[in-house]
Structure 1
Amino acid sequence: MRDPYPVYRRLREEAPLYYNEKYDFYAVSRHADVEQSLPDWKTFSSARGNILELIKSDIEIPSGTVIFEDPRVHDIHRRLLARIFTPRKISELEPQVRDFCARTLDPLVGTDRFDLVAAVGAEMPMRVIGMLLGIPEADQAAIRDATDENLRTEGSGQMDFTDGAIPNNETLVDYLDWRRENPSDDLMTDLMNAEFEDENGTRRTLTRDEVVTYITVVAGAGNETTGRLIGWAGAVLSDHPDQRQELVDDPSLIPNTIEELLRFEPTGPSIARYVTADTEFHGRTVPAGSAVLFLVASANRDERRHPDPDRFDIHRRIGQQLTFGHGVHFCLGAALARLEGRVAVEEILRRFPRWDVDWDNARMAQTSTVRGWETLPLVLG
């Protein structure tokens, strides 16, 4: 986990279609193969989940889990969320995101060190998702902690789905019941009231369980991944002080820096799919019924796609970004993640132009779906 890229390089060169006998899954590592396969939802299905352990568990996926569905049901449910994640609504959040960063970082000015993940990475995404859902600040930390705990893989190294594909977050459930009696201008209220035509042609609103699933997915997807992006910004820019200084001198380079960070250290290194029909990679057949991991983190560093791919370059022209997926499941929250990452880097560099990481006390999070820093102490210069 600390540095998977040498193994990814070997996979691309020696086994672009790799089979792991112990855990019975295939892995695809080259950019062209990942880019071509992800949009092919008929062959590479999300209906059993997009996490390897979930696919292998073969448990029932609750309705409304849009990231674990295929068209046509997927398209119906995604349209409901797309009403919320419009460019206009995302851009309207920027002043609040910036204000949160300022309130968080200003008290740290004059100190000699702080933990970037604890101060910003674990806090800001939670606040933003809380704003979208309409959850009071007092309850946001409990919801984030419960969501993050479901992703942890301590001990066995594998996620536990004994409580279902989408374990209930009791705090969210309680809040939903309260919000039903006290509607407001937020995502939760919108979802409860949204009318749509379901896959059976019935005009209706979402059931209570479906709304719970929706908001649980949004809370989980929005917290962990964006927080890890902010952590990677601190780690990678510490390792590249010359490029960091360029950003201090010219903040207009920051949006492209976020794209390069997403390529260089994607917070979600792999995407799993269930194979519905025999398919071929590099002269070998992946049989129907298999599980396959598309190694996005490897594809992002494929020299066939990106020259000198192991070099971090804030001026790189990236083009198609695989980190948010590709095709019908392209991440609905991509614009929000980019906004949060950009604003965080802008506000951090405005106050702290130089830092080093205390690597002896930095610790990576242990999950099988998201890769990033649990703690990242910055020593300010």
Structure 2
Amino acid sequence: MSQGDLYYDPYDIGIDVDPYPVYCRLRDESPLYYNEKLDFWGLSRFADVSAALKDLKRLSSAKGDILEVIKADPVMPPGVFINEDPPLHTVHRVLVSRAFTPKKMKALEDKIRAFCSACLEPFEGADRFDFVIDLGDELPMRAIGMLVGIPDAEQPTVRDHAQRGLRNERGKPLKVTRDRYFDGEFYADYVAWREKNPSDDLITELLSVEFEDVSGTTRRLTKEEILIFLAVIAGAGVETTGNLFGWLGKVLAEHPDQRAQLAADRSLIPNAIEELLRFEPPGPHVARYVTEDVEYHGQTVPAGSALLLMLSSANRDERQFTDPDRFDIHRRISQHLTFGHGTHFCLGAALARMEGRIALDEVLNRFPEWDVDLANATRKPTTTVRGWDSMPALIG
């Protein structure tokens, strides 16, 4: 293929099956890429993506962090902290981070492990289970539900709502209207219930917390702000983290020697999860709105452009990682970009890592060996996350 044949499209089904050869060519031949048909720019090298994630002055999150959202330029309600720039982002992030303190993560660990065990126990003695349906759809939902304060019986409804919000027709962009992007009204009943039944959870804290906003006014959060906070956390915590489990099943089935090492030595698990996150990131890219002309590799990206930051490509950059297309649970990883970098580093990164670590440990306790039934596995019909709706494993 000639350089003129180089084409990248995040909605292209054929590319999405295995985007890494295209990413490699982008890094080598067109590290700043422009897609004329879809009118977006893209960065693919680790150093460029890492620097762009920290460039808050010229690359804004305020118009969204998904390519389709930036192009649609919808009205953003107050409280979509992942789509805010400092100082507003800083104020809101501090409030939401109350749910993700080390103390709360530690308190949650035993509960997550108990729920994980409950998910897997019914399959002991069976011949198969599904890494996504039986684990990935269940564990992140329960963890976020416990943190936020959603009643157990209602958590599947919240999960399904969060997943629908990030689904697009396969091969086509996510449908976004200019009128509104995030709608928190779905969570109104839960907030009303917590007002009458306070507990040790995020909803209860947000209802009572006083803070100083960007104008210097000390106040409480509006109901709309609380509802939007919940919509953002549920969407990110349930759908994105859930994707980790399908890749866990598939990648370790394809590397049985390394899986055997993990079964024999559980101290290797944390680094294995880190390598999995680098190797197959659940979120393949994020986008930024260019507020002023910015130059990369001798070319100018004009103000008003949409810039795609290819996290999956950056994580496979041979300029940063030795033999990057090789999965290696012993790899020494100083940094990957799966959770972002800088001010917008994923607030739930510690929780996602904990869920992955516990899940792998508990799976190995019961099923130290498995094969995956790829013929019956199902890919997710979405470009905002990359993963599976089903990853059946043969364990008998």
Q: TM-score with structure 1 length normalisation? A: 0.98
- Correspondence for 1:200: 215
| Whole-Å separation in 1 of the counterparts to 2:157 and 2:286 | 28
- How much has 1:161 moved relative to structure 2? 2.1
- Correspondence for 1:120: 135
- Correspondence for 1:224: 239
SS at match of 1:273: strand
- Correspondence for 1:361: 376
- Correspondence for 1:139: 154
For 1:326-352, what per-residue CA distance to the aligned partner results, in whole angstroms no more than 9, with x for missing partners? 010000100000000000000001100
CA contact (8 A) 1:272 1:292 kept: yes
- Correspondence for 1:321: 336
- Decide which of 158, 175, 181 is 1:165's aligned counterpart: 181
- Correspondence for 2:12: none
| Whole-Å separation in 2 of the counterparts to 1:359 and 1:82 | 38
CA contact (8 A) 1:17 1:28 kept: yes
CA contact (8 A) 2:71 2:306 kept: yes
- How much has 1:269 moved relative to structure 2? 0.5
| Whole-Å separation in 2 of the counterparts to 1:192 and 1:368 | 34
CA contact (8 A) 1:146 1:169 kept: no
**1:47-58 matches, cutoff 5 A:** 47-58=62-73
- Correspondence for 1:293: 308
| Whole-Å separation in 2 of the counterparts to 1:176 and 1:81 | 15
**1:168-247 matches, cutoff 5 A:** 168=184, 170=186, 172-247=187-262
SS at match of 1:374: strand
For 1:188-241, what per-residue CA distance to the aligned partner results, in whole angstroms no more than 9, with x for missing partners? 110111110001111001100000000111111100111111111111000000
- Correspondence for 1:88: 103
| Whole-Å separation in 2 of the counterparts to 1:130 and 1:32 | 36
SS at match of 2:261: helix
For 1:136-192, what per-residue CA distance to the aligned partner results, in whole angstroms no more than 9, with x for missing partners? 11100011101100110115621122362113452x221112222222221111011
| Whole-Å separation in 2 of the counterparts to 1:58 and 1:128 | 32
- The runs of at least 4 aligned residues of structure 1 exceeding 4 Å deviation read none
CA contact (8 A) 1:117 1:374 kept: yes
Letter in 2 for 1:145: D
CA contact (8 A) 2:64 2:83 kept: yes
Letter in 2 for 1:377: P
CA contact (8 A) 2:59 2:290 kept: yes
Structure 2 runs not aligned, ≥5 long: 1-15
- Correspondence for 1:19: 34
- Correspondence for 2:318: 303
- How much has 1:116 moved relative to structure 2? 1.3
- Decide which of 355, 359, 373 is 1:344's aligned counterpart: 359
Letter in 2 for 1:311: R
Q: TM-score with structure 2 length normalisation? A: 0.94
SS at match of 2:342: coil
SS at match of 1:84: helix
- Correspondence for 2:295: 280
Identity of aligned residues (%): 58
CA contact (8 A) 1:150 1:167 kept: no
CA contact (8 A) 1:258 1:341 kept: yes
| Whole-Å separation in 2 of the counterparts to 1:298 and 1:180 | 45
1:269 lines up with 2:269 in the alignment: no
